[in-house]
Amino acid sequence: MKNIKVIAAFIAGAAIAGSVATAATNSPSVVKACADKRTNALFLSPSGTCSSARTLVELGGSEMNSKTIASLVTPSVVSISVTAPSGSGTGSGSVYQSTSAFSYIITNNHVIANAVTSGTISIELTNGDQYPATIVGRDPGYDLAVLKVQMGNLSAITVGDSSKLSVGDPVLAIGSPLGLASTVTSGIVSALNRPVSTGTVDAQSYVNAIQTDAAINPGNSGGALVDAAGRLVGVNSAIATLSSGAASGSIGLGFSIPINEAKRVIDEIIATGKSKRPVLGVYFDPAYTAGGAKIVQLSPGEGAEKAGIPVNSVLRTIDGVKVANSEAAIVRIRSYAPGATVTVVVDLPTGVSKSFKVTLGSAPSL
């Protein structure tokens, strides 16, 4: 069997942490838009009505109209160029919010990490216009970052609900692979809740990812994964490649940060310039390979200690989802917000299985 590794779709290294897939049962609802009869440009229509110069179209339902979705969403996806002494490259991003004076762009942390202390960042719109961007804040633990450009009235992407996704749902990935702006690829949701870790030991990120077979390549990082109604459901982040020494590229295994998980972090960064991560209050044994995650130390005063979980217990499930190893456990915890209460099942040192309710603590992400 060939070894497979995961790399961030930009420059960083990564690894699959484990795998648990579940499916929701809700299908995408229909979104109505107006297509301009002269330019074919699309405009969302909350009321479901259009002027005489535009034609009403419906997006969503059981099938995806890729051409229509691409026309609607592509203006909201930007190319990102980073120039820095420690390394330069290109990535992708989405217009998250836009006022009359400025706009916020969301992307991956690993796209802009080289320009944190020095260097420049610029974004390019689909019409070729370029603008300098500054970093509002970033979260390496979730591989997310927010940029700001002093240009208003940009076309903001419509945010969807990633919890409504089911395995098999159609999706589009939009971004700038290899610097090729406004590239659109199609596929399906291949799996949900796929634990993936990316980055290096000193800059590790953990993603409870959407897996897709839509082609994602280096440069797609930070771009949009959208559903059949053109709504943002994920931030494309990583791809899997064979560890044979061949050049990296899409083999139908792409990973995206669910927007429901990303939105909390993004909104915190916009509001305060930084974000927080949930804390179970344990240290795992990374060398433990017998299945589950072995707890070797407790953080004083944190949730696990307060709940009474003893050291040397082996964590088996979190809210009913099995964890294969310590990385999968970290990924699962990171999918919650600080302050959430989770039910964990552990094998006690005596071998007896026991359930505990733990309220997650909070810690700065940087």
DSSP string covering 36-66: ETTT--EEE-TTS---TTEEEEEE-TTS--H
pLDDT tens track for 206-235 = 889 999 999 998 889 999 999 998 999 999
Closest CA to 241 of 231, 232, 251, 255: 251
Residue 250 has a pLDDT of 72
Return the DSSP state at 159. B
Task: Give the C-alpha separation, 362 to 360, whole Å.
Answer: 7
Residue 251 has a pLDDT of 80
- Residues annotated as catalytic are 110, 143, 221
Using pLDDT thresholds of 50, 70 and 90, give the confidence band for residue 8: low
Q: How far is CA 209 from the centre of its chain?
A: 7
The CATH number, out of the four listed (3.10.129.10, 2.40.10.120, 1.10.357.10, 2.60.40.1180), of the domain defined by the range 1-274: 2.40.10.120
Residue 247 has a pLDDT of 52
Task: Give the C-alpha separation, 305 to 297, whole Å.
Answer: 10
Q: Tell me the domain boundaries of the chain.
A: 1-274, 276-364
Return the DSSP state at 221. T
Q: Which of 178-182, 217-221, 322-326, 333-337 has the lowest mean pLDDT?
A: 178-182
CB-based burial label for 342 (10 Å; 0-12, 13-18, 19+) = buried
**pTM over 0.85, yes/no:** no
Residue 247: how many other CB atoms lie within 10 Å: 6
Q: How many CA atoms lie within 13 A of 35 on its CB side?
A: 14
Phi, psi of 216, rounded to the nearest 5 degrees: -125, 130
Which position has the token pair 């070797």?
296
Residue 200 has a pLDDT of 58
Q: Encode burial over 275-289: b for 16+ CB neighbours within 10 A, e otherwise.
A: bbbbbbbbebeeeee
The CATH number, out of the four listed (1.20.1260.10, 3.40.50.720, 2.30.42.10, 3.40.50.300), of the domain defined by the range 276-364: 2.30.42.10
Q: Encode burial over 344-354: b for 16+ CB neighbours within 10 A, e otherwise.
A: bbbbeeeeeee
Contact 24, 163 (CB under 8 A): yes
pLDDT tens track for 99-150 = 999 999 999 999 999 999 999 999 999 999 999 999 999 999 999 999 999 9
Across 304-313, average pLDDT: 97
Same fold, 1-274 and 276-364: no
- What length is written for the chain? 366
